[in-house]
A and B are shown apart, each in its own frame.
Chain A
Amino acid sequence: MKQNTIVLAIVVIAVSAMIYAGAYKSRTASAKYDDVPRIAGNVKGKVAPEFELKTLDNKTVRLSDLKGKAVLVNFWATWCGPCKIEMPWFVDLQKQYGPQGLEIVGIAMDDSDDKTISDFVKEMGVNYTILKGKESVGEAYGGVVGLPTTFFIGRDGKIIDQAAGLVSRSEIEQNIKIGLAQGAPAGSPQSSKAAGGK
């Protein structure tokens, strides 16, 4: 009986140790990008992860610099056909909603040199912020696998929605309206517009 108890205790300790080791290894494997907080799963309502990236003329931009604005973060690349389709929409939307507090931020995820990206951006007539992307930022946003991937962030810094792939212009515009209203004072024109008012 005493021998059985000892054996059972050894089993329990061994199993616990192995489970802990497995969980620890799994945690460290996914901690490659732990320099930035990571979101995963359903991102709606979560605080958008902070990032610090450079513009094409080497100015630093942080997401926190845009506090109080509705932000559209768009991961794209010069080699991405669907990304090219939505860029003129973003140009129009930035013109239309910029004065109300919209900031569109395009994060270029390709390995092209700055000149290639810069020439492309000029050719597309981009009027919004373009930043040079890092894999770690894509990882922070849950792992950006396909492009384009777009995150709509409200004035309160929380993610309203995410679009994986190209979606319609009307869907993008609707999320921008919600973003402008989120955190806007109640009764303001923006909050009533998002609620369906005119």
Chain B
Amino acid sequence: MHRLLFLFLFCAAVFASAEDNTPRAFGRPPLVTLAPAEPVAAAAGKVTDATVRFRIAPGYHVNSNKPKSELLIPTTVKIEATPQFTIAKITYPAGQDFALKFAPDEKLNVYEGDVAVTATIRAAKGVKPGSYTLKGELHYQACNDTSCFPPKTLPLEISVLVK
């Protein structure tokens, strides 16, 4: 009987906990997914390139870094400088022209599918050998042919190994 009691209590606890954690909106996969950044090797006083890769779900697009209107939200990658590293340059791929079904004459400039952004990182002259983590973020605003979704920011990390 005590075993039965334990089983009941366990099941009830699982049930109660599952109900509490039920998401309010489910079923929609993420529109943009960041790939884990590959670690990069750096040397003191030199620059090195790190690549930030992300994938846009099929049927969706995000504005490129240079959309054709000031009102559209560009895709940006920001990486925080540290005492050991500064960000020399962020290089974005060119977008592709795209028109919504309802407005074939009005061209947008967007990214679709897999996208790679390059961050050129400069290591300080006095940086000591070791592993470092740079923190940053990807900011984007996604749409499909008929709807747009609020701008979103995803945190990212880049591992840098100084030899």
Contacts and interface: CB of A to CB of B under 8 A. Distances in A.
Residues of A in contact with B, size category: 35 or more
B16 A21 contact: yes
Given A81-B72, A147-B147, A166-B147, A26 B20 contact: yes
Interface residues of B, number: 36
A112 B2 CA distance: 62
Contact of B16 (A3, A19, A78, A167): A19
A78 B19 contact: no
Interface of A: 3-4, 7, 10-11, 14-15, 18-19, 21-23, 25-26, 29-30, 77-83, 85, 109, 112, 116, 120, 143, 145-148, 164-168
A97 to B, nearest CB: 21
A147 B148 contact: yes
Contacts, number: 99
Interface string B102-134: 110010100000000000000000000000000
Interface of B: 1-2, 4-5, 8-9, 12-13, 15-20, 22, 24-25, 28, 71-73, 100, 102-103, 106, 108, 141, 143-151
B151 to A, nearest CB: 7
A61 B149 CA distance: 26
Given A11-B9, A14-B8, A19-B19, 13 more contacts: A7-B1, A15-B12, A18-B16, A22-B16, A25-B19, A29-B20, A30-B24, A82-B102, A85-B102, A112-B71, A146-B149, A147-B150, A166-B146
A19 B15 contact: yes
A18 B19 CA distance: 10
- Among all A-B residue pairs, the 7 with the closest Cβ atoms: A146-B147, A165-B146, A22-B19, A22-B16, A165-B147, A18-B16, A80-B148
